[in-house]
Amino acid sequence: MTTPLHGVLAALSTPFTDDGGLDEAGLREHVDRMIDAGIHGLVPCGSTGEFAALTLDERKRVTEITLDQAAGRVPVVPGTGSTSTAEAIELSRHAAEHGAAAVLAVQPFYEAPTRDEVMEYFTQIGTAAGVPVVVYNLPSVTGMNLDRGFYEELLERTDAVQYVKDTTGNLEQALDLMINMKGRVTTFVGWDTIVLPGLAAGGTGTIWGTPNFAPRECVQIYELAAAGQYDKADEIFRRLWNVMHFLDREGYSVCVKGAAAAAGIDLGRPRRPYSPLPPEKQEQLSRLVAEAGLAAA
């Protein structure tokens, strides 16, 4: 039986070289940076990791490197969602075979399937992978919000789904899952600006991209909240809030890399079709990073 996931799971950014290739050495360094800062788990190949711009083989390689470098120090939960059930199954099996603690699966996000088809998608992934599934609810991309009724019906079909990453930005929905699905699925808030309210309401943890440039602060927020020291957690959360708000408004994965650069962490350029922030936007973000006390010395 695997240890239940909890705490701060970093949605890893994928470092690229100047010519657009995978920066394998940079990824290994980044994994160590996160673990050394106290991060409780790693999520490669998610939205923050620009998975949609990676080939199938690259997604497998990023997963393999992350698992190898983590070396069992923290659980690794690779993103394996796809527009194709067959590809999602292939990626999920690959992750499980290489030691993943669970897989994070977003539903197909182009030609939107029906509600029943989405349930079957998650059921097949769970059956094939043999490890717990984290359902990644990202309605701004998929066009379908997965509410409590969806999970109640899904759990009648499969026991593989044990976690939800709720990236709706809707605190009421996250709380509804935490309160009414407790003991059946564990809900991780995936929207940066409401992470602390979610933790204060009894959330088990969070999957978010901010740890890429503020790992120690994110761990402190979680640990202080878990200890009931909400005032101290709130001080740190408020300090980071304007940066997180910027990320949510200006293109998340690109902004994470921009914030990391301002904090002195080189994660490379975004991969096409994405581009670095325009100079005026980067300047604004760098200013917010400095105001948050994260700027490189």
User: Who wins on pLDDT, 286 or 1?
Assistant: 286
What average pLDDT does range 221-240 have in this prediction? Answer: 97
With 90 as the cut, is the pLDDT of residue 1 above it?
Answer: no
Read off the pLDDT of residues 140-186 as tens digits, 9 standing for 90 and up: 999 999 999 999 999 999 999 999 999 999 999 999 999 999 999 99
- 87 lies in some domain: yes
CA distance 85 to 82: 7
Rounded to an integer, the average pLDDT of 90-111 is: 96
User: Is the per-residue pLDDT at 189 higher than 60?
Assistant: yes
What pLDDT digit, counting tens, does each position of 270-282 carry? 999 999 999 999 9
pLDDT value for 297: 67
Q: Has residue 171 been placed in a domain?
A: yes
What percentage of residues in the chain have a pLDDT greater than 70?
99
Work out the mean pLDDT of the chain and round it to a whole number.
96
State residue 20's pLDDT score.
92
48 is in an annotated binding site: yes
pLDDT computed for residue 296 by the predictor? 79
Number of folded domains that form the chain: 1
Q: What's the token pair of residue 83? A: 């527009």
Residue 270 lies in a domain: no
pLDDT at position 15 is 98
Q: Tokens in use for 257?
A: 């890399």
Look up the domain containing 166 and give its range. 7-227
* Mean predicted confidence (pLDDT) in 38-49: 98
Asked whether residue 84 is assigned to any structural domain, the reply reads: yes
Residue 196 has pLDDT above 60, yes or no: yes
How wide is the angle at C-alpha 152 spanned by C-alphas 156 and 107, nearest 5°?
90
- Evaluate whether residue 167 is within a structural domain: yes
Can you tell me the mean pLDDT for 32-53?
98
Name the packing angle between helices 24-36 and 56-70 (round to 10°): 40
- Tell me the catalytic residues: 136, 165
Tokens of 265: 């962490």
Structural domain contains residue 264 = no
CATH number of the domain enclosing 191: 3.20.20.70
Q: How many CB atoms lie within 10 A of CB 179?
A: 12
Q: Tell me: pLDDT of 283 over 60.
A: yes
End-to-end CA distance of the chain: 44
pLDDT at site 202: 87
- Judge whether 296 lies within some domain: no
Does residue 238 lie in a domain region? no
